[in-house]
Amino acid sequence: MKLKLSSISMNHKNVLLIKLISAILISFFAFRLFILHSSEFSPIFASVTGKFEARFLPPEIIVPENEDLIPQDIEVEKCDLFAGKWIPDSVGPIYTNKSCGSLIDGHQNCITNGRPDLDFLYWKWKPHDCLLPRFDPRRFLQLMRHKSWAFIGDSISRNHVESLLCMLSTIEEPVEVYHDMEYKSKRWHFPLHNLTVSNIWSPFLVQAAIFEDSNGVSTASVQLHLDRLDETWTSLMPSFDYAIISTGKWFLKSAIYHENAKLVGCHNCQEKPHIEELGFDYAYNASLHNVMDFLAAEDNSKGTVFFRTSTPDHFQNGEWHSGGTCKQTEPVSDEEIEIKDVHKILKDIEIDQFKRAVREKTNQDGGNLKLLDFTGMLLTRPDGHPGEYRQFRPFDKDKNAKVQNDCLHWCLPGPFDYLNDVILETIVNG
């Protein structure tokens, strides 16, 4: 009888053991199945509106964004960071209109101004032949400890410096330490890294007498001295470790031209028919000839100098003061858009004068003078401008109100932020 009870007890224990093992196996396979299915969903992202939303991603192998290794089938020496396309990006900007609102010019703070669509924030620049790491503000600040930066030019340069400041502010808040009387030139300091960033207002880069109000309305033609560089920026060049210099659109304004202290011609000066019409291209070519010669001379600066090509506008059915608009909400391909004649003229002059200066003034590799050719990259982003939302909530009182569109400057955050990805990669890897 004892033997029979003992046998029953052993059988009972075996059954329990089998059940336990079965439960463990079922749990394991259930967990693996859950992980497999959950990989089809992306994390929850916070949009710039403050709302949280889940974005669905296709089940695919994800390559790390910041992987520094280049695939073996890509030759590094052929990598062109400026040739590529815009691709969808679920991550979006690293700052928002709220987190950086105090640094963004009101006219470019599109989302605060009421722009309703946000899809334009979810695209990133992808070069054809190489990987482009995302801009890392912490790495930038570490690399630029005890350095000085300058952005020299017109309001597009201001647009650019505000983009960089906003990205860096996610790590350390900049402190404004200087501004001129008109608040057009400014300087900021990052005390923890002893980095200074300056924005220097010099829209022509050469000496100019300008007669216009804050809305860009001129009362007289610009007096432009094509052979005299603006000392506002040239006098400061020896103090900068890095400088990004640009110009362009201001040369389309009506202007009287001077060379060797003599009047030589004009552009669009109908009120003075006795002066020869030379065209803006004459003035741009002559001015950039002198600018590039100065930049190529290493004695004039101690650090790296970037010349940025002019950025295209996307006005349609008019221009700035003639009812032009830009209503696109997504990027276009190279095949879907053609560069305007005026933008092609500006860029051709920029490239020609840059190459000439490198050929004549440096050891053929450009030395410390580098080119940032962003024209094509931004040409395919007609959706990146403030458009109707240059002013704060323009349709609150009248949904049919007629407002001036800005199809020249760039929304922040927006496509302009990706210029900084390219610039940092250029600095790090040449």
Q: Is 32 exposed, middle or buried (0-12, 13-18, 19+ CB in 10 A)?
A: exposed
Cα(376)–Cα(398) distance, integer angstroms: 37
| Burial readout 220-256 (b: 16 or more C-beta within 10 A, e: otherwise) | ebbebbbbbbbeebbebbeebbbbbbbbbbbbbbbbb
User: Is residue 80 annotated as a catalytic residue, yes or no?
Assistant: no
Pairing of strands 255-259, 262-267: antiparallel
Torsion of CA 47, 53, 58, 59, to 10 degrees: 110
Q: Are the C-beta atoms of 161 and 118 separated by less than 8 Å?
A: no
Which of 155, 157, 221, 246 is catalytic? The answer is: 155
Q: How many CB atoms lie within 10 A of CB 319?
A: 14
Burial class (CB in 10 A: 0-12, 13-18, 19+), 45: middle
Is there a catalytic annotation at residue 406? yes
Q: Is 398 a catalytic residue?
A: no
Half-sphere exposure for 428 (CA within 13 Å, toward CB)? 18
Q: Which of 373, 383, 406, 417 is catalytic?
A: 406
Catalytic residue among 148, 313, 409, 417: 409
Peptide bond preceding 273: is omega within 30 degrees of 0, i.e. cis? no
Q: HSE of 280 in the Cβ direction (CA atoms, 13 Å)?
A: 18
Q: Are strands 206-209 and 222-229 parallel, antiparallel or unpaired?
A: antiparallel
Query: To which residue do tokens 């860096």 refer?
Result: 168
Q: Which residues are catalytic?
A: 155, 406, 409
